[in-house]
Amino acid sequence: MDRANKIYSRIISALSSERCPVCAMLYQDEFDSLCRWAGKSGETYRDSEQRIHLVNAGGFCNYHFWQFQRISSHYGTANVCIVLLVKLIAVLNSVKHKHNLNILSAENVMKCPLCYELKQKEAGYLKELTNILEDDDIKPKYVSGCGACMPHFIRLMDYSDDELLLEFLFDTQITQIARIKSDAEGFIRKMNPSSRWEQTKAEKKSWLLAIEKIAGKNGV
Ligand SMILES: [Zn+2]
Ligand SMILES: [Zn+2]
């Protein structure tokens, strides 16, 4: 299966995940990638292309470094950090007489390779999603799901100038948000123990879907 077909199939299955399809795919990508990084955290991978790339980037961003250490072994984390610490010592020694830390400014060091990888993938997913949604057979599947979270909905606008598709995306977004709102209201209305058993599945998870719709998946 070529890359384009693979992305197409993944989006189609993500549409039934009841989550923002782009967030759902990126969440899986992030986990898979963290596992690969953790798998190469041992001493034997010290000179690997991947490790050199990580060191040149100055390590992961704050979020991904802490995610990485949850998956990696303590020895793996120590191995990766030693190389970064060696680099930090070299940098500090090179600037200590100038008392100038511009070289360590956020713009210079925060080029997290995992953030970069996910950004690249996100662009590909958004582009393919707009292509897929041109298909009238797919549109009802998209409407019945969670649809794009607001951050991805906003970014989707950059990938199409088809007025009909944009109108469909806006109408769908409003319909889905109204549905989640209505489910959340039903969830609260039936909060008394005597009526809790009447809560629907959609109402029970409405609070979670509301956050995801507004803000996107945690950490993505
Ligand atoms: Zn999203
Ligand atoms: Zn990152």
**Residue 96 has what pLDDT?**
83
CA distance 177 to 172: 8
Domain residue ranges of the chain, discontinuous segments joined by +: 3-215
**Residue 200 has what pLDDT?**
95
Residue 80 CA to ligand 1 center (angstroms) comes to 31
Ligand nearest to the CA of 213: 1
> DSSP assignment of 74-112, as one string?
HHHHHHHHHHHHHHHHHHHHHHTTTT--GGGSHHHH---
Residue 119 CA to ligand 2 center (angstroms) comes to 10
**Residue 109 has what pLDDT?**
56
Residue 137 CA to ligand 2 center (angstroms) comes to 36
Residue 63 CA to ligand 1 center (angstroms) comes to 18
**Residue 189 has what pLDDT?**
96
Residue 69 CA to ligand 2 center (angstroms) comes to 13
Mean pLDDT, consecutive 10-residue stretches, the chain (220 aa), reads 80 88 95 91 80 86 93 92 91 83 63 92 95 94 94 95 95 97 96 92 95 85
Q: Are 138 and 172 in contact (CB under 8 A)?
A: no
Q: Are 61 and 119 in contact (CB under 8 A)?
A: no
**Residue 137 has what pLDDT?**
93
C-alpha distance from residue 120 to each of 26, 45, 112, 124 (Å): 10, 25, 13, 7
Q: Is 216 exposed, middle or buried (0-12, 13-18, 19+ CB in 10 A)?
A: buried
**Residue 1 has what pLDDT?**
62
> DSSP assignment of 169-190, as one string?
HHHHHHHHHHHHHHHHHHHHHT
Residues with CB under 5 A from ligand 2 (ion): 61, 64, 112, 114-115
CA distance 213 to 206: 10
